[in-house]
A and B are shown apart, each in its own frame.
Chain A
């Protein structure tokens, strides 16, 4: 969890009813996500998903990052989250989609 000076784009994500808020940033050079990071305050699942996602997209082509779907995020997490935690798991991914969309 860190800030990113020199980010190409940052997008905020929040689950207001839970109190999860994060800021997801990527740095894109020549169509490649050379760096990704997030900062924020969230539950264990949203934080873990955000952290795994930053590692996963680093070095990825923007087009490939854009193609990631919910299933990829669940596969990264490696656990089944219940319906009540779905939005926690997907919070960072939604912000990422805005970054690369």
Chain B
């Protein structure tokens, strides 16, 4: 394992306060390093003002920092230009906005097809499902292989009658599976479909290159990549964003307004109505810079090694059934069930031992239905975790089996 990564735990103040905390719930929200808190605190304490408005020096500094943050996020996901980055409230905000933007950008006909996967998080699935319901569209799903990954060999058949939108998450927040979005995007764009990618579970865990992926839109939340909550990014290809109508209207996004008419500013300003989450945006960019400094590929290798260890330790345990992608194609998530014990009970016993896990359907009900499970226990691994965290989890599973007498 990369030794410089192991030392990173010390960058996170929460692990000074709780040195023995086995935090294995990053897929719900990650922890935040001191550098991110410092940047946010500096904004509040040294130059807090609104953005894109005032002419005093603090306000100018805010605008400069905010637009620098946009450039940082463009670099972070290899966007062609900063104006392809729209700051949002998070993945859910991005996804809902995008659905309305796409709804207004097309002349929908009854029966037009949307293609997605049963793996999607509800944040990605539900706005599409509602879009389909409002316009009588057909929402269809890419089938799974026997190993619960996307059956991409079936893509050609699915594209015989071209879908208008194809939406596929970059990685699953349940199994950790990294999807071959590049392959899906190439096939989808060849038939003229708009390609959307929810990168929330993948962001911060692997390098993301929107141009190499070939997607039209991609979004994620800041709080899953060591940033603050309540902020996220919607990436959109410039040529598309420039032609689209905003989902929200209000202050800061207009060129001109009369009694009966308003004219929008260029993108991305057009899509950022109202005073944004300024501290959040600055914190998000600080998180991206922090992760870039460690190296996204190094983080990926570290998490992969620890996921391999977790996989070996957990998935061979008596009575444990894993629903996790192989570690080489996994963003660090091992979900599982323990025979004879409800996930909630396992997670509560783990909680007593200072092991933070998540039990439930992880906002992916169609995926759990496809897996034939009501709920799973999820352990998610990130750059501040160690083997000791996994060992603590193994002991908790053993204890749960003892408490419930299923040894």
The answer to whether A19 and B374 have CB atoms under 8 Å apart is yes
Secondary structure of the B contact surface, majority rule: mixed
Interface check B174, CB cutoff 8 A: no
**Which residues of chain B from 358 to 407 have a CB within 8 Å of any chain A CB?**
359-361, 365, 368, 373-375, 404
The answer to whether B360 and A43 have CB atoms under 8 Å apart is no
Q: B335-374 toward A: CB 8 Å interface, digit per residue (1/0)?
A: 0000000111100100000000001110001001000011
Residues in A neighbouring B343, C-beta threshold 8 A: 18-19, 43
Task: Report Cα–Cα, A42/B375, bound state, in Å.
Answer: 10
The answer to whether A85 and B348 have CB atoms under 8 Å apart is yes
Residues in B neighbouring A43, C-beta threshold 8 A: 342-345
Residues in A neighbouring B359, C-beta threshold 8 A: 18-19
Interface check A41, CB cutoff 8 A: yes
The answer to whether A17 and B360 have CB atoms under 8 Å apart is yes
Look across to chain B and name the residue whose beta carbon is closest to the beta carbon of A44.
B345
Q: B182-218 toward A: CB 8 Å interface, digit per residue (1/0)?
A: 0000000000000000000000000000000000000
Q: B259-287 toward A: CB 8 Å interface, digit per residue (1/0)?
A: 00000000000000000000000000000
Look across to chain A and name the residue whose beta carbon is closest to the beta carbon of B344.
A43
Residue from the set A19, A43, A45, A85 with the largest chain B CB neighbour count within 10 Å: A19
Q: Report the minimal beta-carbon distance from A12 to chain B, rounded to whole angstroms.
A: 13
Task: Report Cα–Cα, A16/B374, bound state, in Å.
Answer: 9
Residues in B neighbouring A44, C-beta threshold 8 A: 342, 344-345, 404
Q: Report the minimal beta-carbon distance from B405 to chain A, rounded to whole angstroms.
A: 12
Q: B316-348 toward A: CB 8 Å interface, digit per residue (1/0)?
A: 000000000000000000000000001111001
- B361 in complex: contacting residue of A16, A47, A84, A88, CB < 8 Å: A16
Residues in B neighbouring A85, C-beta threshold 8 A: 344, 348
The answer to whether A19 and B375 have CB atoms under 8 Å apart is yes
Secondary structure of the A contact surface, majority rule: mixed
Look across to chain A and name the residue whose beta carbon is closest to the beta carbon of B363.
A17
**Which residues of chain A from 16 to 40 have a CB within 8 Å of any chain B CB?**
16-21
Interface size on B, residues (CB 8 A): 14
The answer to whether A18 and B344 have CB atoms under 8 Å apart is yes
Look across to chain A and name the residue whose beta carbon is closest to the beta carbon of B342.
A43
Residues in B neighbouring A84, C-beta threshold 8 A: 348
Q: Report the minimal beta-carbon distance from A74 to chain B, rounded to whole angstroms.
A: 17
Task: Report Cα–Cα, A18/B347, bound state, in Å.
Answer: 11
Task: Report Cα–Cα, A84/B359, bound state, in Å.
Answer: 12
The answer to whether B374 and A41 have CB atoms under 8 Å apart is yes
Known contacts A42-B342, A43-B342, A44-B342; is-contact A18 B375 (Cβ 8 Å): yes
The answer to whether B344 and A20 have CB atoms under 8 Å apart is yes
Residues in A neighbouring B361, C-beta threshold 8 A: 16-17, 19
Task: Report Cα–Cα, A44/B359, bound state, in Å.
Answer: 14
Residues in A neighbouring B368, C-beta threshold 8 A: 19
The answer to whether A18 and B345 have CB atoms under 8 Å apart is no
Q: Report the minimal beta-carbon distance from B157 to chain A, rounded to whole angstroms.
A: 33
Residues in A neighbouring B373, C-beta threshold 8 A: 19
**Which residues of chain A from 44 to 98 have a CB within 8 Å of any chain B CB?**
44-45, 47, 84-85, 88
Please list the residues of chain A having a beta carbon within 8 angstroms of any beta carbon in chain B.
16-21, 41-45, 47, 84-85, 88
Extra A-B contacts (20), CB below 8 Å, given A16-B361, A19-B342 = A16-B365, A17-B360, A17-B361, A18-B343, A18-B344, A18-B359, A18-B375, A19-B344, A19-B359, A19-B368, A19-B374, A20-B342, A43-B342, A43-B343, A43-B344, A43-B345, A44-B345, A45-B345, A84-B348, A85-B348
Please list the residues of chain B having a beta carbon within 8 angstroms of any beta carbon in chain A.
342-345, 348, 359-361, 365, 368, 373-375, 404
Residue pairs across A and B with Cβ atoms less than 8 A apart, 26 shown, are A16-B361, A16-B365, A17-B360, A17-B361, A18-B343, A18-B360, A18-B375, A19-B342, A19-B344, A19-B360, A19-B361, A19-B368, A19-B373, A19-B374, A20-B342, A20-B344, A20-B375, A21-B374, A41-B342, A43-B343, A43-B345, A44-B404, A45-B344, A45-B345, A85-B344, A88-B344
**Top 6 closest pairs, chain A to chain B, by CB:** A19-B375, A43-B344, A19-B374, A43-B342, A44-B345, A17-B360
